[in-house]
């Protein structure tokens, strides 16, 4: 942990990005005990003014010397910058919670979801990794079911919002939707297809479309995002041989990721048993009333802290199988909130 104080000096790496803005919102909402808040970003954000707790703070350029006197670093500036700058922060005496993929699979770095494996925090050597957004929301229901039986296999398909890819991607979707919606006809074939000049951040048109491809393809033809879910889940649950396969899809939703989750267990878990386990697990909110069409959706989760679970049912194709639908705000529980919960555990 870190030295006990009444208040802490906190630095945010990537303070002007989508996750950086959520760091600020959540630190204020949860009244995190801050003495000095240092906002760090790239040269292009130098001098930008951000208001926090009614005080105007100037964004500083991130350098090797940015961490003097800092207790906690919340980092969301990308993997390459984390690799470059976090070692300097550790040498300056800070504990770093990193939202990038830089250190997640480093065996010397704990990978933490506080509701699932908080005991691993104490093993840190200055850096603690925040998992991938889609992994975080999946491991909560997995950990809930794992309380009563071993999990044999997991099949997950994700439906991930554009905010998971950054502010530029949100704006690209917005521009495409605005341009295509302005046309006089919307239903004729070809009238909903964007011209090539409108496609930049994504490999294909995002508006009115789905892209079954997030991050780069690897040699096994899975994407990097899909393999993150496999490898990170195994590490967090301490199940190195867990059978897990993932398909990750980008969808034209601004905020909140959704997941279709299929779990095969060692022992039979009924729908009612699963619901009871999920309802008792910290961080999960169950919405499951099929008769009234009540289940989680991205609009349910947007701006919320919980992982929402619904559509829980027994898999009729398996002796011991469960299906469920899992939704969470990817910028909050999937990123900024989880990191701040780790920081709260540290203090």
How does strand 55-58 pair with strand 49-52?
antiparallel
Residue length, the chain?
347
> Of all helices (H) and strands (E), which one includes residue 235?
helix 224-236
Query: Do the beta carbons of residue 72 and residue 4 sit within 8 Å?
Result: no
Instruction: Say if residues 248 and 160 touch (Cβ distance below 8 Å).
Output: yes
Contact 254, 297 (CB under 8 A): no
The Cα 311–Cα 290 span in angstroms is: 7
Residue 220 half-sphere exposure toward CB, CA atoms < 13 A: 9
pLDDT of residue 194: 86
Q: Specify the pLDDT at position 166.
A: 77
Domain ranges of the chain: 8-131+336-346, 135-161+210-330
Tokens of 84: 């470059």
pLDDT at residue number 2? 84
What global pTM score does this model have? 0.94
pLDDT tens-digit series, residues 2-61: 888 999 999 999 999 989 999 999 999 999 999 999 999 999 999 999 999 999 999 999
Q: If DSSP codes are grouped into helix, strand and coil, which group holds residue 20?
A: helix
Give the model confidence (pLDDT) of 148-168 as tens digits. 999 999 999 999 999 988 778
By DSSP bridging, strand 284-286 and strand 257-265 are unpaired
- 327 φ/ψ angles, rounded to the nearest 5 degrees: -135, 140
Q: Is 96 a catalytic residue?
A: no
Cβ neighbours, 10 Å, residue 178: 10
Which DSSP symbol is given to 71? S
Fold of 135-161+210-330: Dihydrodipicolinate Reductase; domain 2 (3.30.360)
Known catalytic residue: 88?
no
Alpha carbon separation from 34 to 17, 72, 279 (Å, rounded): 21, 10, 33
Burial class (CB in 10 A: 0-12, 13-18, 19+), 28: middle
What ranges in 238-315 are assigned the alpha helix state H?
Answer: 271-280, 298-301
> How many Å apart are CA 80 and CA 67, to the nearest integer?
18
Choice among 124, 133, 248, 285 that is catalytic: 133
Q: What is the pLDDT of residue 184?
A: 64
Q: What whole-number distance in Å separates Cα of residue 117 and Cα of residue 104?
A: 14
* pLDDT reported for residue 167: 77
> Which parts of the chain fold into alpha helices (H)?
18-29, 79-91, 133-146, 167-181, 224-236, 271-280, 298-301, 337-346
User: In which residue are the tokens 């203090």 written?
Assistant: 347
H-helix or E-strand containing 128?
A: strand 127-129
Query: How far is the CA of 17 from the CAs of 74, 94, 298, in angstroms?
Result: 13, 22, 21
| Fold category of 8-131+336-346 in CATH | Rossmann fold (3.40.50)
Identify whether the C-beta of residue 96 lies closer than 8 Å to the C-beta of residue 127. Answer: yes
Q: Which of 96, 124, 248, 257 is catalytic?
A: 257
Please give the pLDDT value at position 185: 61
> Closest Cα to residue 305, out of 143, 157, 136, 119?
136
Q: For position 346, what pLDDT does the model report?
A: 95
pLDDT, mean of residues 126-149: 98
């Amino acid at each position: 942990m870190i030295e006990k104080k009444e208040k802490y000096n906190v630095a945010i790496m990537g303070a002007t990005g989508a996750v950086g803005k959520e760091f600020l919102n959540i630190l204020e909402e949860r009244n995190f005990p801050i003495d000095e808040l240092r906002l760090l970003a790239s040269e292009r954000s130098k001098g930008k003014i951000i208001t926090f707790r009614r005080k105007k703070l100037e964004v500083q350029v991130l350098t090797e010397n940015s961490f003097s006197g800092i207790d906690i670093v919340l980092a969301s500036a990308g993997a390459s910058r984390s690799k470059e700058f976090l070692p300097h922060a550790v040498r300056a005496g800070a504990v770093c919670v990193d939202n990038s993929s830089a250190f997640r699979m480093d065996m010397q770095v704990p990978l933490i979801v506080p509701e699932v494996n908080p005991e691993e925090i104490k093993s840190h050597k200055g850096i603690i990794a925040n998992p991938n957004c889609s992994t975080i929301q999946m491991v909560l229901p997995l950990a809930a079911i794992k309380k009563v039986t071993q999990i044999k296999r997991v099949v997950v398909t994700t439906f991930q919002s554009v905010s998971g890819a950054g502010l530029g991607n949100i704006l690209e979707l917005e521009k495409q939707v605005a341009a295509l919606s302005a046309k006089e006809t919307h239903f004729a074939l070809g009238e909903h297809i964007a011209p090539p000049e409108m496609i930049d951040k994504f490999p294909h048109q995002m508006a009115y479309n789905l892209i079954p491809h997030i991050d780069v393809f690897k040699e096994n033809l899975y994407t990097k995002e899909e393999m993150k879910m496999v490898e990170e889940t195994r590490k967090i649950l301490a199940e190195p041989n867990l059978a897990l396969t993932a398909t990750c899809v980008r969808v034209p939703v601004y905020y909140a990721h959704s997941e279709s989750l299929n779990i095969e267990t060692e022992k039979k878990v009924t729908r009612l048993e699963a619901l009871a386990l999920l309802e008792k697990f910290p961080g999960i909110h169950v919405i499951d009333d099929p008769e009234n069409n009540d289940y989680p959706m991205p609009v349910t989760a947007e701006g919320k802290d919980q992982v929402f679970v619904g559509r829980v049912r027994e898999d009729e194709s398996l002796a011991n199988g469960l299906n469920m639908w899992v939704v969470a705000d990817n910028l909050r529980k999937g990123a900024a909130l989880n990191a701040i919960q780790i920081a709260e555990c540290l203090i």
